[in-house]
Every structure is written in structure tokens, then in C-alpha cells.
Amino acid sequence: MHKLLIDSPDEEMLLLGNDAIARGAIEAGIAVATCYPGTPSSEIPDNFFAMFREGGFYFEYSTNEKVALEVAAGAAISGIRSMCTMKHVGMNVASDTLMTLAYLGVNAGMVIINADDPLMFSSQNEQDNRYYARLSGLPMMEPINAQEMKDMTVAAFDLSEQLKLPVVLRTTTRLNHMRGVVKFGQIRQIKSKGFFKKDPFHYVALPAVSRNLHKVLLEKYDQALELSENSEYNQIIGNGKWGIVTNGVSMDYVQDAVNDLGIGDKVTILRLGFSYPMPENMIVKFLTNVEKVLVVEELEPVMENDIRSIAQAKEIVVPIKGKEKGLFSRLYEFDPGMVRGTIASYFGVPDTSPKPVDVTGIPDLPGRPPNLCAGCPHRAMYYAIKQVYGPDAVHPSDIGCYTLGILPPLKMADIVICMGASIGTSCGISKATDQKVVSFIGDSTFFHAGIPALINAVHNNHKFTLVILDNGTTAMTGNQPHPGVDTTPMGVDTTQISIESLVRGCGVEHVQVVNPMQVKKGIEAAQASKDFDGISVIISKELCPLYARSIKKAKKVRPFYVNQDKCKQHLDCINLLACPAMYIDDGKTMINEVLCIGCTVCAQVCPENAILPLKK
Amino acid sequence: MKTINIILSGLGGQGILFMTRLLAQAAHDHGFPVMVAETHGMAQRGGSVISHLRLGDIESSLVRTGTAHFLLSLEENEGYRNLPFLSKGAKMYVNTSSRYFPREEVKEFLEKREIIYRSIPGGTIAQDLGAPRSSNLALLGYFSAFDEGPVTYKEIKMTIDKVSPKRFKDINLKVFEAGYKKGKDFNIDISD
């Protein structure tokens, strides 16, 4: 049995924050779960995928976050509990649905997991999605540790049912990827069959209907506010004269800092876990009992501004500080030392923490960014394109492992914005310039947001080459399936969709499908696309080797070596491929046989045929 | 209880998450309050990876610089990179086969901070046993042989037995044992 399905309340387990959310959903009797994977949220749906059959609920990896949200909404409106998980930028994709879904409301608990990524560990921006609660009018909850991620998920379902509104549970990377002890609770019975009760004057968002629905949403705000005032997740802790307001992971840093500094009797902490609507009365009570306030929140001054406006409305005069020079930055994530130092300096207490370590004597090490793996098919396709188009072609790229091709010597990413934007920006760049444009998009990303842009490119007669890097999986986020994947071996019944048919269906006439590991074929395809005057698509098709290994479809690994008698040090292999398995030792080109998976691409590139399979 | 802070580092793909999980689970089973901060996602494609493991009555999962008691690094340079985390007198265990460990230019820093350093060619040990990607277990076994950490060799071994996927259990234990033995031999060497 999957460990998260164990029905023994009081069981204690060391869980990842994302595991804890998945367990919370199980305890809440989830009937439908949907997602588009994205770091730092991916382990939640991956847990669902691993246990949904055994757990007796429905789960799908949807094509994108908007669709995922709609599937979950359809279920919750039909009266069964649903969850939809996404990373913060996924919320942008889903937001069109989100805004009006808030008007419609739901009939069974619906929880949206929104995972923000301060510091951008794996994201293109660090937008603060607490604004989405304010924009949509949906309640938001923010846990502080693994236990709460489980408990709050259950509470969010109940809250959602009470208000008949989806509830957004907002996490940050540090919480998603924190591991801590979680005490299990009871698993509730799943209600797995719903019924869609027709009520078009409630569910068809025509202007006349929506005018009424907006009013209903505002009435629900008042109701939610009342619940927020009395929520166990909003607390005033202590009764000192120094006020600290905090949320999420910052609460952990504040607690440790207050203990370390020994100022527990001097401070009052206002912890906001049910963070939208903000509990106004509680905030007023807090403000009237303190002399000065420090707001400790990562990213934007969201609570700070709201609290300041409450203070203004209630004519409470007290300094409220947070985001300003010398205190907290709107940039990046916090760390415990910085929070402690800022609390100490703001309230004028000596910071007794150990002085920063004098790092003189530690060598200045170059950063080690992530890299395309040894044997990655993207590298082979990049090589073929570079051989044909040279260094001057412009390469719009997209969100996925292949973005790692930005680094020299590959340098195959010139502009990246968000999922699917490679194709749209290619249209603009090729129209605005005389430069050759060859853009790259992954298979899952193409399904997610590439198709409307490709239709646009065909319809408006744009001229560029699109390479769809089809490695048969959603690699960067942990090998989740997508609509182009045959999921039969995983024991899941889905229908596989052919990328080639889709591309042709979009109206592209010049379509080539190649295996990039055959370097010559890749170069021929690149040349044909260059010679074609119009929109052309190359589908570069080869399984991600990590994925192939995980589904036991990998070919037998036969590592290669460099025959030093033949090698004449052209260094094409090193300088043009930059495979992490290759290195230079004592002037000799070498291959690390543990890392090499025998993809043969370097052997095909070597002008001396000096790279050969190791004899076993 | 006194807080114990451990940093585990290396490169994506070396098994830092698994090593962290084993140590965290063993500590949890021992009865310590445990908190861990892990690196997932993009950083795993061969880039620098770090885990923070904290035991004690604490609320946050991140180790502050200058406060770690142990550093276990699966790669030498990643070990150096994370030296600022170590407290004075901390202990550092590194997986490297370099004869020149530690590098000349860090020796002064290590001395000044009174850091005790030890290295094991975990990659070679694991490869000799037919599991070239299991240097994480060799390092963990080596670490356990010195009996300086919060959990014993036996406790970690039990955890490996419990947590390992079935098809890797035997080899995991074998590599762990080999690392342990290497550490024990080292102990005998110095006591001679």
C-alpha cells in the first residue's frame, strides 16, 4: 500500500511538504485531482499518480494549468471534492478561469495548490501570487511547516465547502521541499459520484448573470472575513510591545530568531495563516497593543500594505515597517540569519548570533549550473542546427531542460519568456528582422501552450523553423507523462496523441521527423528546413535517457573511450558538444565511463574516428 | 536538546536526496525532532545540490552559516563551497579519490577554523562493487564508522534496510558496509 494511504490515525511519518499536502487531500476524501506539473509543486501530483488507483480517486496530468483548473472545477461544481495543483506561473495560465470561477463558486470542497518560488530555484520569475487572492476574491491559506501542510489542506477543503468557493493554499519552495514529521489523521470517505444540477442563471456567466454573481462573491467575502477572524491559523502570540507580523516560512525564522535573541517577553507575533481576507478586527487588536511593527514577509509588501491601510482607516498611529532599505528586500527568499539580524536591528537589541564566517582562504569556485545530461538528445539536435545555421541564427526557446542549452559552447537559447512563448516570439522576431529564426520547444510544452501560436504562425504566413524536442516525457519536472506519451506500460488508460498529426493539422506542410542521435540525419533535416521558404517544423524524436532508464527502455549502456593514438586534438567533441562525460586530463581528451551512456554522438562528430566503444 | 546541524552537498544525480533521507529517517527513528531542507527540480541536472538537516527543538529547516557541525560532501569542490556553513571545530567528510585532498589553498582556512577533515574514495569503492552511482552509501558508511554523528552505524544500517527499494537493498548495504570498513581501518591506523 502507498505510504500516504495508510489508514492509521496518529501514525507519524517523516514527509516532504508536498507529500504532506497529498496526504491531506487523501484525509479530506479527495475525489478528483488534476495538475500540470511544475517545480516546486510536482511531487504532489506525482504522489497522486502513484496512488490514485489504489486510493479510489480520479487523477490526471492535464495539458495545462487552465485545463487542470477547469477539470477540477467541473467536478467540484458537480458536487465532489477536487484539488488542482500548479506552480505560481501556472496560475497565470489558469487565471482566466480562476477569475470567473470565483463568481460561479463550487458545491463541494475545491482546493487550488499554488506553489510560489522566491529566489527562482526553478522558475522564470518570482511573482507573488498572494495578489491572486486579492484579484479573484478567493480565500487564501498559508502553512508554515510539514504538519500544517497536511492539516491545512484538510481545513481548506472544509472552508471551501462552507463558503462554496475554491480556496487557494499558497506554499513557497522552502515549504514544498521541507521534510518534517507529520502526524496522520482520519481518512474520510470519498464521495466519488456527483450530479450536475442545471442552473443556467447561476452557471452561465453572461453579463446579466455575472452582475448578480459578483454581488454574491462580495457577500462571501464578508462571510470569509468572519471565518478568518476566528481561524485557528490566525493567532496573536505573546503580549510584548514590539509587534511582528509574519506568514508562511518566515514564521519559522521569526520563531527561531525570537528564541535565539531571548526577546519572547518583549514581542507580540501576529501570525496570519488564513491570510486572505485579512482578519481586520484581530489586526486592530494587535496594532493597538504594540508600539512599533515589523512585517516579515517574503517578496511583495502585501500584508504590510493591507495592515497600513487598516491602521489608516482605524486612525491607529503606529510605525509599520517591512520593505525598505535597511530592513527587508522585495527580492528573493529570506534566511534565518537575515531575519534574526533585521529583527535585532529594528527593535534595537544586540544580535548575539555568531559573526559571519570569514571566508578568506576558501577558493573562489566557479558556479555549477545545471547542465544537459550525458547522452541528452537535445545536445545532438543543437549540434545539427548549429552546423547548418551557424552562430547568427536567433533561437527563441522555451521552458524545459533544453533551456539549459543557453550556456556556451551550445548557446542555443536567445530569448525565453514562458511556456509556449518560443513560437509567438519567433513570429515577431522573424517579421521584424532579416535574421534566420530557429526556435525550440519541448513536447509537453508544445501541448501546453504551443499549439495556438503555431496556428498563428501558419495562418499569418510567418517564416521560421520550429524544432519540437520530443523526448517522450515531461523531463525537467520529473518525467511525468503528457498527451504524446503511451501510458499503457504505467497501467494507465489514456489516448496517445501524435505530435506529427497535430503539427500537420495546424496547417504546417514542411514537417520532418528525425532521430537526432543520427547526426547526419539531423543535419540533413536542418538543411532542408533552411532551404524552405516558409514555416517548417522538425520533430526531433528520441527518449530522454533518464526516463528511458526509469521505464526500462534504455538500450544497454556501452560506454565509449578516446583512442589516444588516433586522437589529434581537434577537440570538436569537447568544444561543440560540451557533454559532461568528457573532460581533458593532462592534455588528453577523456571520457568518464560511469557518466557515458554510449549515445555515440561524439563518435559521429569526431573527424578522426578516434572515439570507440569500450570492449567489455 | 542541543541542536545538531548537518549539511550534505554534491552534484545533481549523486544521490544527495537519498543520503539525506536515510540520515533524517534514522534520526527520526532514534527520537530526534527532525527538519530537512532539500533541493529538487532544475538544480538536479548536474548542478550544485545541498540539503540541510537539523535535529533539535527548532522551527526552521535552514542551517545558518557558521553553525553546522557536520558536512558530508559527495564532491570535493562542493565541499569547499559549503565550508562557510561549518562551525569552529566541525567535521567534514568528503567523497574524493584525490591524493591531494584537501587542496593546498584551503588548508589555512581549515586549520584556522579547527575543522577536522576526512576523505574516502567512495566512487571507486562503489564502482568496485558494481554500483558506480552509489558513492553516497560509501560516504555514509564511512561517516558512521567514526561514531561522531547523531545516529550510530547500526541505526543507519537498519534504515537502509527499511527504506531501500527492494532491488537495490543488497547492493546498498554492501556499499555502506564497505565505506564503514574503510572508516574502521582508518581508525585502527591512527590508534596504532
Q: Where are the beta strands (DSSP E) in A504-574?
A: 510-514, 536-541, 560-562
Q: Give the closest of B65, B78, B81 to A357, CB-based.
A: B65
Pairing label, strands A234-237, A267-272? antiparallel
pLDDT in tens, A552-607: 888 888 999 999 999 999 999 999 999 999 999 999 999 998 889 999 999 999 99
Distance CA A532, CA A523 (A): 14
Burial class (CB in 10 A: 0-12, 13-18, 19+), A87: buried
B42 — pLDDT class (breaks 50, 70, 90): low
Domain count, chain A: 4
Residues A183 and A68 grouped into a single domain: yes
CA distance A548 to chain B (A): 16
Higher pLDDT, A551 or B150: B150
A531 membership: H or E segment, kind and range: helix A519-531
ipTM attached to this prediction: 0.93
Neighbours of B181 (CB within 10 A): 14
A241 inside domain: yes
Residues A169 and A31 grouped into a single domain: yes
For residue B189, the model assigns a pLDDT of: 64
Domain end point (choices A201, A229, A257): A229
Residues A239 and A201 grouped into a single domain: no
A363 inside domain: no
Distance CA B78, CA B74 (A): 8
How is A383-418 classified by DSSP, letter by letter?
HHHHHHH-S-SB-B--SSGGGGGGSTTT---SB--S
Q: Give the closest of B24, B47, B103 to A370, CB-based.
A: B47
The answer to whether B103 contacts chain A (CB < 8 Å) is: yes
> What's this model's pTM, rounded to 2 decimal places?
0.96
Burial class (CB in 10 A: 0-12, 13-18, 19+), A69: buried
Instruction: Tell if the CB–CB gap between B106 and A121 is shorter than 8 Å.
Output: no
Rg (CA), chain A: 27
Q: Give the closest of A251, A256, A362 to B83, CB-based.
A: A362
A-to-B residue pairs, Cβ atoms closer than 8 angstroms = 143
For residue A359, the model assigns a pLDDT of: 85
CB contacts, 8 Å: B8 with chain A: none
Q: Which amino acid is at A247?
A: N
CA distance B118 to chain A (A): 17
A151 inside domain: yes
Residues A97 and A207 grouped into a single domain: yes
Residues A23 and A152 grouped into a single domain: yes
What residue numbers bound the domain in which A263 lies?
Answer: 234-347
Domain B4-191 has what CATH class? alpha beta
Q: What is the CATH number of the domain that holds A99?
A: 3.40.50.970
- H helices of chain B, in order, are 16-30, 76-81, 107-112, 122-128, 135-145, 153-163, 166-191
**Could you give phi then psi for residue A482, rounded to 5 degrees?**
-140, 180
* Best of B2, B52, B62 to mutate (most A CBs within 10 Å, chain A): B62
Does A391 sit behind a cis peptide bond, omega within 30 degrees of 0 on the bond before it?
no
pLDDT in tens, B103-133: 999 999 999 999 999 999 999 999 999 998 8
A535 inside domain: yes
Annotated domain spans of chain B: 4-191
Mean predicted confidence (pLDDT) in B43-48:
76
Higher pLDDT, B40 or B166: B166
Residues A82 and A147 grouped into a single domain: yes
Instruction: Tell if the CB–CB gap between A594 and B64 is shorter than 8 Å.
Output: no
B181 — pLDDT class (breaks 50, 70, 90): very high
- H helices of A235-363, in order, are 248-261, 280-288, 302-313, 336-347
Residues A418 and A466 grouped into a single domain: yes
Closest-CA residue in chain A for B39? A177
Distance CA A38, CA A84 (A): 12
Residues A513 and A437 grouped into a single domain: yes
Mean predicted confidence (pLDDT) in B169-191:
88
Neighbours of A320 (CB within 10 A): 23
Write out the three cell numbers for B89. 571545530
Does B102 sit behind a cis peptide bond, omega within 30 degrees of 0 on the bond before it?
yes
A353 inside domain: no
Residue B192 has pLDDT above 50, yes or no: no
Instruction: Tell if the CB–CB gap between B105 and A361 is shorter than 8 Å.
Output: yes
Cβ within 8 Å of A, B 5-64: 11-13, 20-21, 24-25, 28, 33-48, 58-62, 64
A491 inside domain: no
Write out the three cell numbers for B110. 581549515
How is A135-154 classified by DSSP, letter by letter?
HHT--EE---SHHHHHHHHH
Residues A404 and A436 grouped into a single domain: yes
Residues A167 and A116 grouped into a single domain: yes
Q: Give the closest of A335, A365, A404 to B80, CB-based.
A: A365
Write out the three cell numbers for B144. 558512521
What are the residue ranges in chain A where pLDDT is below 70?
A: 616
Mean predicted confidence (pLDDT) in B154-162:
97
Residue B41 has pLDDT above 60, yes or no: yes
Instruction: Tell if the CB–CB gap between B42 and A39 is shorter than 8 Å.
Output: yes
* Best of B1, B34, B40 to mutate (most A CBs within 10 Å, chain A): B40
Residues A8 and A155 grouped into a single domain: yes
**Could you give phi then psi for residue A364, rounded to 5 degrees?**
-75, 100
Sheet with A58-61: strands ordered across: A58-61, A32-35, A82-87, A110-116, A167-172, A140-141, A274-276
Residues A75 and A134 grouped into a single domain: yes
